[in-house]
Amino acid sequence: MAIWNEAKECMSRDELENLQGKRLVKQVNYVYHNVEYYRKKMQAVGLEPGDIRGLEDLNKLPYTTKDDLRETYPFGLFAAPQSEIVRIHASSGTTGKATVVGYTRHDIDVWSECVTRALVQCGVSKNDIIQVAYGYGLFTGGLGAHYGVENTGATVVPMSTGNTKKLITMMKDFGATGIMCTPSYLLHIAENIIEGGDLDKIKLRVAVCGAEPWTEKMRQQIEETLHINCFDIYGLSEIMGPGVACDCIYHKGLHVQEDHFLPEIISRDTLTPIADGEVGELVFTTLTKEGIPLIRYRTKDLTSIDRTKCECGRTTARIARFKGRSDDMLILRGVNVFPSQIEAALLEMSETLPHYMIIVDRVNNLDTVEVQVEVEERFFSDEIRELENLTRRIENVIKTAIGIAVKVKLVEPKTLKREEGKSVHVIDKRVFD
């Protein structure tokens, strides 16, 4: 199995840690001198760049969270001037304000390199034709995957999301050999392929899926249904986008591109680093980023780490399949959604009461969302048409707020369960184990 950049992916741990240490010192200096917010944050804990001399000083540095990105919206954490930023992406923030990230030309090159390494790790070569069916746009999935495929030398078909029939037609007509999309979407595509009697008409042999939590069972199900190899790719916009880490043919964890991103696992209770193998929150420090370098960014993703050499020959640390998140962020059809975004949208409407319940399920492998909303009694004496109008309007308001369609069900006042303690607004019936 080929390795794209053996010099970086297979170096000895000593060599790698030495490189990481040097890059960390440089990145901290860069951030201190170019981002006022970080400078103040470091000064607040009495830190100067000279205090960080290598990896051993990492835990002196304060953490960064999504709140820091929100407070500095939109460009406050950018370290490079606008004239050097060649691209912007964004994802959902906790209160509706987007998390905005910017890339310099060099950042885009590093990103393409990382996705290329991941793809080659999954067996992709220039002989492949890859359909990218992640959304193109502010979401990092589409364009991130796209540049990586091109850099590999393979042929990219920029499908984006939304038209399964066309995707399958082109898969057959073009002889596509690979696909990149969310795992739940691929299961949906697979069902359509089977139903349409198209399985023997496609040449698909590899899929690289991510952007949402999924299980090993789902991965195997995809492999068996489509007779292909299926891999798990991870990433987040704050750090880069897809390609921060990816599975290899041994499926024993996702290799982190450690020369660019320094991983730590911290305890959710004490917020201090924990031993390899133990499950905690994944934290990343970018090592080479220019646009928006982040120091000790708390991803809220729960996993464990293994730094032993993999059977594939790579020495980079592997993170285990994700065990969930430590915050309330939902990933619905690959889109990040915070319940607070739905709440804020409902509160803007005068007809709704501040009681709602979000019910998430997975039907035919696609996430479904029903939002039950209490509305004032008087609406139930109105004509059915009025109720339907109101339902559609609420659906539109929510769709505008979170970017995906939901089904709204109006319920009478006091129907939804009231909690005595922390209110519960989400029932997630999907199974991720």
Q: What's the min distance (Å) between Cβ of 141 and ligand DLL?
A: 4
| CA distances from residue 81 to 57, 64, 84 in whole angstroms, order as listed | 28, 21, 6
The residue among 30 and 214 lying less far from ligand DLL, judged by its C-beta, is 214
Instruction: State which residue, 27 or 237, has the beta carbon closest to ligand DLL.
Output: 237
**For 155, phi and psi rounded to 5 degrees?**
-90, 125
Q: Single out the residue of 115, 186, 236, 317 in contact with ligand DLL (rule: CB under 6 A).
A: 236
CB of 64 to ligand DLL, least distance (A): 14
The amino acid present at 210, given as its one-letter code, is G
Q: Any contact of residue 31 with ligand DLL (CB under 6 A)?
A: no
Quote the least distance from Cβ 227 to ligand DLL, whole Å.
22
Query: Counting contacts by CB under 6 A, is residue 263 touching ligand DLL?
Result: no
Q: Categorise residue 233: left if φ over 0, alpha if ψ from -120 to 50, beta otherwise.
A: beta
x/- contact string, 275-294, with ligand DLL (CB under 6 A)?
--------------------
Q: Which of 9, 264, 301, 367 binds ligand DLL (CB under 6 A)?
A: 301
The footprint of ligand DLL on this chain (CB under 6 A) covers a number of residues equal to 23
- Is residue 231 involved in binding ligand DLL (CB under 6 A)? no
Burial class (CB in 10 A: 0-12, 13-18, 19+), 278: exposed
Quick note: the x/- pattern for ligand DLL over 323-362, rule CB under 6 A, is --x-----x----x--------------------------
Closest distance between ligand DLL and the C-beta of residue 102, in Å? 14
- CB distance 219 to 249 below 8 Å: no
Nearest-approach distance from CB 402 to ligand DLL, in angstroms: 13
d(CA 240, CA 286): 9
Place of tokens 């540049």: 147
The yes or no reply on residue 234 touching ligand DLL (CB under 6 A) is yes
Residue (35 or 331) nearer to ligand DLL, CB: 331
Please say which residue, 384 or 431, places its beta carbon nearer to ligand DLL.
431
Nearest to 251 by CA among 284, 219, 205, 213: 219
Residue of the chain from 78, 185, 322, 338 that contacts ligand DLL (CB under 6 A):
322
- Maximum alpha-carbon separation in the chain: 73
Q: How far apart are CA 362 and CA 4, in angstroms?
A: 36
Minimum distance of ligand DLL from residue 391's CB (angstroms): 29
Residues 84-123 that bind ligand DLL (CB under 6 A): 91
The residue (of 233 and 358) whose beta carbon lies closer to ligand DLL is 233
The DSSP string of 306-326 is: E-SPPTTS--S-EEPSP--BS
Q: Smallest gap, in angstroms, from Cβ of residue 297 to ligand DLL?
A: 10
The secondary structure element, H or E, covering residue 408 is: strand 407-411
Q: Where are the beta strands (DSSP E) in 201-325?
A: 206-210, 229-236, 241-246, 254-256, 261-266, 280-286, 297-303, 305-306, 318-319
Of 292 and 346, which has the nearer Cβ to ligand DLL? 292
> In the bound complex, what is the minimum distance in angstroms from residue 331's beta carbon to ligand DLL?
6
Q: Which is nearer to ligand DLL, 140 or 315 (CB)?
A: 140
CB of 235 to ligand DLL, least distance (A): 4
| Strand extents, DSSP E, 84-223 | 85-91, 99-104, 129-132, 155-158, 178-181, 206-210
By beta carbon distance, the residue nearest ligand DLL is 210
State which of positions 129-158 bind ligand DLL (CB under 6 A). Answer: 134, 139-141
Residue 79 to residue 290: CA distance in whole angstroms = 6
Half-sphere exposure of 265 (CA within 13 A, CB side): 21
Gyration radius of the chain's alpha carbons = 23
Identify the CA nearest to 131 among candidates 93, 101, 161.
161
Question: Does 233 participate in binding ligand DLL (rule CB under 6 A)?
Answer: yes
Range 197-216, binding ligand DLL (CB under 6 A): 210-213
Q: Whose Cβ is closer to ligand DLL: residue 235's or residue 403's? A: 235
Output 331 or 346, the one with its CB closest to ligand DLL: 331
> From residue 192, how far is each of 179, 209, 337 by CA, in Å?
15, 18, 27
What is the Cα–Cα distance from 333 to 141, expressed in whole angstroms?
Answer: 12
Smallest gap from residue 142 Cβ to ligand DLL (A): 8
Binding site for ligand DLL (CB under 6 A): 91, 134, 139-141, 210-213, 232-237, 241-242, 299, 301, 322, 325, 331, 336
